[in-house]
C-alpha cells in the first residue's frame, strides 16, 4: 500500500505547494502556421544563399531565433512532463522524480525566454517592461533571475528556509517567493516570441519589409 504523506512534509522536503498541485490546464502558444522547429535551419539556408544581417545584428538575430526556438521546444516538453506527473501522482503521494523532471524543463524554458528578452531589448533598443510594472514580462524575467541566481542565494543563506527549489508549480502557473506567472501568461509570451523570430529568420524578407 502506498504511503500517505502529511502535506506539510511534502511541501517542506520536496517543493513548496506540491501537496496542493493537483491539476493544470496548460495551453500551447498560439503559433499556428509558424514552423518554429525549422527556424534555425531555415535561417542558416537563407543567410548562406540569399542574404545575411550585417555587423552585430547577425549575432543578435541568430541568438534571438535560437532562444525563441529553444523556449518553445522546452515548453512543449515541459507540458508533456507535467501531464505525465499529474496523471501518475496523487497529492498525498507524489512522484518527486517526475515532478523534478517537469520543473527542470520549465526552468530551462524560462531561462531561454529571459535570454531572448535581453537580446530583443538590445536589438530594438526598447524596453519590454519597466521594473515594478507588474506585467507578465516582468514576472517571467524575475522568475528566471531567481532560478539563475539560486545557487548564490543558497550559498549566502538568503533563501527562505522552506524553499527547496527556486520556483514551483501551482494549479494556475509558476511561483517563487516574490513572483507568479500563469500558464496562460507564458503561452502568450512565447507566442510573442514566435512573431519576432518568424520576422527575423529570413534576412532578405525582413530587409524588404523595412524598405
Mean pLDDT of the 69-91 span: 97
Q: How far is CA 183 from the centre of its chain?
A: 10
Task: State how far the Cα of 168 lies from the Cα of 107, in Å rounded to an integer.
Answer: 10
pLDDT per residue as tens digits for the range 53-76:
888 888 999 999 999 999 999 999
Q: What is the pLDDT of residue 206?
A: 61
pLDDT per residue as tens digits for the range 2-16:
789 999 999 999 999
Q: What is the pLDDT of residue 53?
A: 80
102 touches 82 (CB < 8 A):
yes
Q: How far is CA 191 from the centre of its chain?
A: 12
Secondary-structure breakdown of the chain: helix, strand, coil percentages, each rounded to the nearest 5: 60, 5, 35
pLDDT per residue as tens digits for the range 157-202:
878 888 899 999 999 999 999 999 999 999 999 999 999 999 897 8
Q: Which residues pair with 169 in a beta bridge?
A: 174
Which grid cell sits at 10? Answer: 511534502
pLDDT per residue as tens digits for the range 114-152:
999 999 999 999 998 989 899 999 999 999 999 999 999
pTM > 0.85: yes
Amino acid at each position: 500500500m502506498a504511503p500517505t504523506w502529511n502535506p506539510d512534509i511534502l511541501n517542506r522536503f520536496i517543493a513548496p505547494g506540491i501537496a496542493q498541485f493537483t491539476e493544470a490546464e496548460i495551453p500551447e502558444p498560439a503559433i499556428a502556421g509558424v514552423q518554429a522547429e525549422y527556424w534555425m535551419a531555415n535561417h542558416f539556408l537563407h543567410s548562406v544563399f540569399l542574404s545575411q544581417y550585417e555587423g552585430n545584428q547577425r549575432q543578435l538575430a541568430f541568438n534571438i531565433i535560437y532562444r525563441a526556438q529553444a523556449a518553445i521546444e522546452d515548453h512543449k516538453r515541459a507540458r508533456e512532463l507535467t501531464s505525465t506527473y499529474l496523471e501518475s501522482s496523487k497529492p498525498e503521494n507524489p512522484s518527486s522524480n517526475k515532478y523534478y523532471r517537469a520543473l527542470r524543463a520549465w526552468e530551462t524554458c524560462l531561462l531561454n525566454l529571459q535570454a531572448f528578452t535581453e537580446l530583443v531589448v538590445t536589438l530594438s533598443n526598447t524596453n519590454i517592461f519597466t521594473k515594478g510594472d507588474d506585467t507578465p514580462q516582468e514576472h517571467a524575467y524575475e522568475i528566471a533571475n531567481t532560478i539563475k541566481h539560486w545557487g548564490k542565494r543558497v550559498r549566502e543563506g538568503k533563501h527562505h528556509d522552506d524553499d527547496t527549489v527556486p520556483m514551483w508549480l501551482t494549479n494556475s502557473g509558476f511561483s517563487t517567493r516574490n513572483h507568479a506567472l500563469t500558464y496562460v501568461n507564458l503561452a502568450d509570451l512565447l507566442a510573442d516570441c514566435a512573431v519576432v523570430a518568424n520576422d527575423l529568420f529570413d534576412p532578405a524578407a525582413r530587409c524588404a519589409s523595412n524598405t
